[in-house]
Amino acid sequence: MLRLEGVSHSYDDRAVLRDVTLDLAEHRIGVIGANGSGKSTLARTLNGLVVPDEGRVTLGEWDTRRHARHIRRRVGFVFSDAANQIIMPTVAEDVEIGLRALKLGREETARRVEEALVRYGLDGHRDHPGHLLSGGQKQLLALASVLVTEPEVLVCDEPTTLLDLRNTRMVHRTLDGLEQQVVLFTHDLDLLDDFDRVLVMDAGRVVFDGVPGDAVPHYTKLMDER
């Protein structure tokens, strides 16, 4: 289970996370908040992309400060702009590159790549340049490239921000069908309807923690007061 204990972080003099303590045990957790509320930094602390100035983030016995490599293999991360996440020239190669770290062998690697391409509807694009895919397909490629490594947890930082309604729904359906724990940071409140737990962030703090039916009205009221 991901656990945050007294996590605080600043960029220069600007505090972006203030004493955040959380146990993230539920299968599907949403995080909402205004721009600048600390969501992206919090997301990045979960797989060690950001190591907090104070406090600690752990997954089981692993600590992001000392075991970032182990944690990154268990906590997959999807960014809002999938285009920047595409590393290799073609779709199949991009899915495959993440598996290299696992040293699975040629056959097992090929099998997993094939399976991921079919599962995420990318098998017709295997040899196409990833950067020429549509926005939705790029985000599916980003998801496939991360999920092919079979992480325990998937952290998504605003994965639908750049997508239209159809592609947003496609990503939503994909996230819906995952066995992994999903921690979704989003502005898209509709995605959270059937989530188990939603956190509301404001000024670097978690100001509400509950079910979507209560969290979304709380967030809306918070924004109305601004």
Residues contributing to the site for another protein (CB under 8 A): 47, 49, 69, 72-73, 76-77, 79, 81, 84-90, 92-93, 96-98, 100-101, 126-127, 129, 131-132, 145-146, 149
* Shortest distance (Å) from residue 98 CB to another protein: 5
CB of 9 to another protein, least distance (A): 16
The least distance separating another protein from the CB of residue 88, rounded to whole angstroms, comes to: 6
Residue 128 Cβ, how far from another protein at the closest point, in Å?
A: 8
> Least separation, in Å, of the C-beta of 141 and another protein?
12
CB-wise, 86 or 170, nearer to another protein?
86
Nearer CB in complex with another protein: 58/90: 90
Comparing CB distances to another protein, the nearer of 157 and 202 is 157
Comparing CB distances to another protein, the nearer of 55 and 129 is: 129
CB of 107 to another protein, least distance (A): 15
Q: Does residue 197 contact residue 209 with C-beta atoms inside 8 Å?
A: yes
Q: 173: burial class by Cβ within 10 Å (0-12, 13-18, 19+)?
A: exposed
User: What DSSP assignment string belongs to the chain?
Assistant: -EEEEEEEEEETTEEEEEEEEEEE-SSEEEEEE-TTSSHHHHHHHHTTSS--SEEEEEETTEETTT-HHHHHHHEEEE-S-GGGG--SSBHHHHHHHGGGGGT--HHHHHHHHHHHHHHTT-GGGTTSBGGGS-HHHHHHHHHHHHHTT--SEEEEESTTTT--HHHHHHHHHHHHT-SSEEEEE-S-GGGGTT-SEEEEEETTEEEEEE-HHHHHHHHHHHHHT-
Strand order in the sheet with 181-185: 75-78, 153-157, 181-185, 28-33, 197-202, 205-210
Beta carbon nearer to another protein, 79 or 185? 79
Report the residue number, 59 or 92, with the smaller CB distance to another protein: 92
